[in-house]
């Protein structure tokens, strides 16, 4: 059965995420990241940041709310029971700091079939309140038995 690809190119409404100190700390603690720039305002400002700075992979926290609705969109039609998160890329620009408001948009880049599996590739793009580029994410979801 050919994969339904009508939704390729679709874009979803932007989401906005307010970055906060305690959330950054919670994420850093879960990963065991001890650098004080993620925990302490004085250490962060001394290192040249506006406020406590997020570890790079905190990108998942503010970009997931944008990509979630895209993945669950019935027009995309992914079978969740057979889905795995197969690949991920992030490209970082401006760091995300506490107080930032990050706006993320999501887009479906491609749907391809390879060896009986469906490869769904989504892109997210996040910018901060000044319009500065923060991160671009590429999310590859693999659905078995398509």
Partner 1 sequence: MADPKVGEQVPELRVTPDKYLPHRYAGASGDFNPIHIDDEFAKMVGLPRNILHGLYSMGLVAKANAALADGDPRALKRLSVQMRGMGVPEQEIVVTGTVKSADGDRVVVDTVATQGETTLIKNAEAELEL
Which parts of this chain interact with partner 1 (CB under 8 A)? 23, 26-27, 29-35, 37-38, 47, 53-57, 60-61, 64-65, 81, 84-92, 95, 138
Residue number, 36 or 77, with CB nearest to partner 1: 36
Residue number, 6 or 85, with CB nearest to partner 1: 85
Contacts 24+ apart (CB under 8 A), 114-122: 116/144, 116/145, 116/146, 117/142, 117/143, 117/144, 117/145, 117/146, 118/3, 118/78, 118/142, 118/143, 118/146, 119/86, 120/71, 120/76, 120/78, 122/67, 122/70, 122/71
Residue 140 CB, nearest approach to partner 1 (Å): 8
Residue 137 CB, nearest approach to partner 1 (Å): 10
Residue number, 9 or 68, with CB nearest to partner 1: 68
Residue 2 CB, nearest approach to partner 1 (Å): 26
CA distance 95 to 37: 12
Residue number, 4 or 60, with CB nearest to partner 1: 60
Residue number, 48 or 131, with CB nearest to partner 1: 48
Q: What is the DSSP annotation of 66-101?
A: HHHHHHH-TTT---GGGEEEEEEEEEE-SPPBTT-E
Look up residue 63 and give its two tokens.
């970009």
Residue 23 CB, nearest approach to partner 1 (Å): 8
Residue 141 CB, nearest approach to partner 1 (Å): 11
């Amino acid at each position: 059965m050919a994969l339904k690809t009508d939704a390729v190119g679709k874009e979803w409404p932007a989401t906005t995420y307010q970055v906060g100190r305690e959330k950054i700390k919670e994420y850093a603690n879960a990963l065991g990241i001890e650098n004080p720039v993620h925990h302490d305002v004085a250490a962060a400002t001394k290192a040249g940041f506006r406020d406590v700075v997020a570890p790079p992979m905190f990108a998942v926290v503010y970009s997931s709310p944008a990509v979630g609705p895209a993945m669950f969109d019935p027009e995309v039609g992914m079978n969740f029971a057979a889905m795995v998160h197969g690949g991920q890329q992030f490209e970082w620009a401006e760091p995300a700091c506490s107080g930032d408001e990050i706006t993320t948009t999501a887009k479906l880049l491609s749907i391809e079939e390879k060896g009986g599996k469906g490869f769904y590739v989504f892109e997210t793009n996040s910018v901060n309140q000044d319009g500065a580029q923060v991160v671009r994410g590429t999310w590859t979801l693999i659905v078995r038995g398509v």
